[in-house]
Amino acid sequence: MGREDSLTTVPLFSELSRRELKRCGAVAKVVSFDAGDVVAEEGEEGLAFYVVLGGQAQVKRRGKKVATLIPGDFFGEVSLLDGGPRTATVVAETPLKLLSILRWDFRELLEKDPSLVPKILKELARRLRQIERPVTA
């Protein structure tokens, strides 16, 4: 399975063609963490986006476990765009293998291939509409 295959599970990339996913995969790197390692720290600047390839991680908010990440799950996609503070801490529960895209590599990719931008914006707009959709009784 290629790096671009791992990106197919990520909604942010849902509008991209196979060729475009391959370009995104080309800037991705596989990184590993040991059990107990902190991958992302709540409140710190987000420098990368990750897709879980193997292992399991725990997501904590304000010190409380809120989720478990398994292969196919992802986190930090907004950091690709704004580098804002992390909204949660992610800790490896087992040895962890992740696909990582650094924010500056992604930005360079978008500058080289601006045709990716409207496709990513389309997904962001869709997600915003879902959040803003009024709740019906």
User: Whole-model pTM above 0.75?
Assistant: yes
Q: Is 102 a member of any domain?
A: yes
Q: Is 88 a member of any domain?
A: yes
More confident residue, 115 or 128: 115
* Residue 34: predicted pLDDT: 98
Tell me which residue range forms the domain holding 33.
Answer: 3-132
> In whole angstroms, what is the distance from residue 59 CA to residue 89 CA?
6
Question: What average pLDDT does the structure give for the chain?
Answer: 88
Whether residue 122 is predicted with pLDDT greater than 60 in this model: the reply is: yes
Q: Report the candidate in 123, 17, 115, 32 with the shortest Cα–Cα distance to residue 78.
A: 123
- Which one-letter DSSP state was computed for residue 94? S
* Residue 42: predicted pLDDT: 92
Whether residue 72 is predicted with pLDDT greater than 90 in this model: the reply is: no
| Average pLDDT estimate for 90-116 | 92
Q: Report the candidate in 94, 125, 107, 120 with the shortest Cα–Cα distance to residue 7.
A: 120
Q: In what order do the strands lie in the sheet with 89-92?
A: 38-40, 89-92, 57-61, 64-69
* Residue 41: predicted pLDDT: 94
> Per the structure, how many domains does the chain have?
1
